Amino acid sequence: MLQQLPSEQKMYRALINKDESFEGIFIVGVKTTGIFCRPVCPARKPKRENVEFFSNPKQALDAGYRPCKRCKPLREKGETPEWIDQILTKVEADLTHKWTDQDIREEGINPNRLRRWFKKHHGMTFHSYVRSRRLGKALGQIKHGEDTTQVAYSHGYESLSGFRDAIKEMVGKPVSKGKDTPMVHLNRITTPLGPMLAGATKEGLCLLEFVDRRMLETQLKRLRKYLKCSFVPGSTEITEMAARQMQEYFEGERRHFSVPLELSGSTFQQKVWEELQHIPYGATRSYKVQARNIGNVKAVRAVARANGDNRIAVMIPCHRVIGSDGSLTGYGGGLWRKKYLLNLEQTHLEK
């Protein structure tokens, strides 16, 4: 039962410290209450002799435990709460509506709570999010040939100059030039290993990263430089396809991805990323073998750097590259995620 898990001592220490880095790694069952929880459950921590550890909720359920009502262990880490879904549905139904705190209260939501949630999960306030969605839709309409004045007033702007200034602030260019700026739609998708940020142009997926990765901000800056794009929140057919296929992957129902990709990088980086996609599901390769496969056996360190610069996690499987001695070595999303992904693939490969 504890195979492929950290030591019990380490897991209990993580439980006591409410260590978020162990989210997705283990579930804890509390013998005295008959419930199972996440490592970060706010409930009072049980004694060591009163807990047992599981790899996933199914194991805990099979052992007779019921899910905790406080930490909701059956919900994926980073999953959007129902009260957020409720207000986002209304936002999408009418992007021209200018929300006030009173409007938010009428939805049964505390405005401060809403503000904190958006700052934590999207790096912006709720009002900034709505504004970005409104401008993103407006710019999309202008790109497709609609009249700027008509678009401005239909989106609730009282003056054309105010609309032009808002567009210029978002894309860094006037409307006349901004309409030629590629847009990358950013959408948050959930996985058992935590939320990921998916970014897509009209051609393909150009970003898929865990939101807590330290390099994420740097990757966004590089993407903006390569594509000369602007970022707007919102989903597209491509980000929705990515979300579906990632869910199928984690459920063991998908080994190959068909999401169109847009890879922006140097010729060498693109060569490395293409080679990564040739590593079979459930298999691993060393950096040395990867270097040899691209025709430059001396480029081991350069290959490792290119792996680290990969902006499309999992679908471009840099997690399948390990050290020559079998060690996991570095991974931008964290070694615990790398171990999880490799174990997941190996487990489903053996079925």
Give catalytic residues, as residue numbers. Answer: 37, 318
Running DSSP on this structure, what letter comes out for residue 312?
A: B
DSSP string across 220-242? HHHHHHHHT-EEEE---HHHHHH
DSSP string across 47-64? PGGGEEEESSHHHHHHTT
- CA 309 to CA 269: how far, in whole Å? 8
- CA 43 to CA 40: how far, in whole Å? 9
- CA 29 to CA 36: how far, in whole Å? 4
DSSP β-ladder status, 66-67 and 35-37: parallel
Q: Taking a C-beta distance cutoff of 8 angstroms, is the pair 344, 250 a contact?
A: yes
- 54 Cβ neighbours under 8 A, 6+ residues apart: 1, 26, 27, 28, 29, 36, 60, 63
- CA 226 to CA 173: how far, in whole Å? 17
Angle at 158 between CA 157 and CA 159, to 5 degrees: 95
Q: Measuring CA to CA, how many Å separate 244 from each of 20, 191, 238?
A: 25, 11, 10
